[in-house]
A = this chain, B = another copy of it.
Amino acid sequence: MNYYVSLGYSQGVTTTGTARETTTLTGPGAARQHTLRERNLELVARAVFEVPEPLSRAGVAAATGLARATVSTLVDQLVAAGLVRELPAVTGGRAGRPAVPLVPAPRSVVGLGLEVNVDYLGVRVLDLTGDAVAERVVPGAFHDSDPAVVLSRLGDIAREVSDGVAASGMTVAGARLALPGLVDPRTARLEVAPNLGWSSLEPVPLLGLGALDVRVANEAKLAALAELAGGSDVVAPDSFIFVSGDVGIGAAIVVDRELFLGERGWNGEIGHVVVDPSGPRCSCGAFGCLEQYAGKEAMMRAAGLPPDAPLGSLVTLLADADADLPAGRALGSALADFVNLFDVSTIVLGGAYTELLPWLRADVEAVLADRVLAAPFVDLQVRAAQAGPQAALTGGAREVLQVVLADPAAWV
């Protein structure tokens, strides 16, 4: 099943009949003729967008099971809408009329990724081909900042960038704002972001982006979506646990290429999983949370560095000394709980862990092998994240484009 559920918008259908008969049914509503068309349009769009090498109309027909005639009309609509482009017919060494390769149209519809993090603001624009069309990342220090000021500044940058791409004829389909904290994508509320010192606010209006469709999500969740694009040589797994280590530690679960969000999008709080109840007190009030062992500040302190030293200093120190990070066993323990509870066999380590993985891997894998009940029967994989810097920006923009892809009919 691969229906894409856009962030925070579930599809309950509430129908009200006469006074006596008011009933709510969840799930997709009544299917009409145009529902057929919408679904097949999506099918064709996915075939064009998600296949490694370009397909022809006939190829799409074969891949989808639709009749060639049907595919032709659908493709024509996508081309007319500017979502798909025809490449020159390729007359490659075999008989028959040459096929017209179909590719996602570059620089047509784009998605905006926005992010506020502790040490930067960022905006990134991706088009349907996955290319970064524009980008601005502004370093800063936003610990204990004023959300109104910071978000309005980010909004200014976003508007600037957005106006730029719009001036080149591209359509901005929407934006996703990544925040490091408890965010409910459905209500677009931020409950608390400890490292920003923000709490209980609605970030979207503060951006001042007018009618643009802006949704909010946790930073680790969007970074996980960025992983789905895969690396240059590494193909992305369909299901994985993504752990983003920084001052706080967040995680996301991707199953069958879809984010699992729980009831409110507040899942993946692996930073506060119990590692040792007799351990140090955490900022959350509990004792022995993972963050106290494998948070950035704890790792710095354990290495004899000041807690706010740059990550690079820890890396050079580790590269010289030939010792593993003590955080490895703690991280392994929390990950083992995660895997025992979720049954997802690939773990992608992002944020600070990406660089630190060489000094974590041995301990993490050893503890996983010890503690994961299914370890004898599964090939547990621990990988470094591939998505590059400010992954949440990429993931947010990708999420916007996924919504376009899920309903191309809205764009024809």
Contacts and interface: CB of A to CB of B under 8 A. Distances in A.
B23 A59 contact: yes
Given A21-B59, A63-B21, A273-B337, A264 B27 contact: no
A26 B64 CA distance: 10
Contacts of A334: 274
Contact of A62 (B17, B40, B192, B265): B17
A11 to B, nearest CB: 6
Query: Which of A36, A256, A262, A344 counts the most B-chain CB atoms under 10 A from its CB?
Result: A262
Query: Which of A5, A371, A378 counts the most B-chain CB atoms under 10 A from its CB?
Result: A371
A224 to B, nearest CB: 14
Contacts of A251: 341
Given A26-B256, A31-B39, 11 more contacts: A15-B63, A15-B65, A29-B43, A35-B36, A255-B263, A264-B343, A267-B341, A269-B340, A269-B374, A274-B334, A285-B370
Nearest to A40: B31
21 contacts: A1-B26, A1-B27, A2-B26, A23-B51, A23-B55, A23-B59, A24-B63, A25-B43, A25-B46, A26-B257, A30-B65, A36-B36, A191-B374, A269-B340, A269-B373, A269-B374, A272-B371, A276-B278, A284-B373, A337-B337, A338-B341
A389 B269 CA distance: 34
A31 B43 contact: yes
A46 B27 contact: yes
Stoichiometry, as copies per complex, reads 2
Query: Which of A11, A261, A337 counts the most B-chain CB atoms under 10 A from its CB?
Result: A337
Given A2-B27, A17-B63, A64-B15, A268 B377 contact: no
Interface in A190-211: 191-192
A404 interface: no
Contacts of A47: 23, 25
A326 to B, nearest CB: 14
B3 A343 contact: no
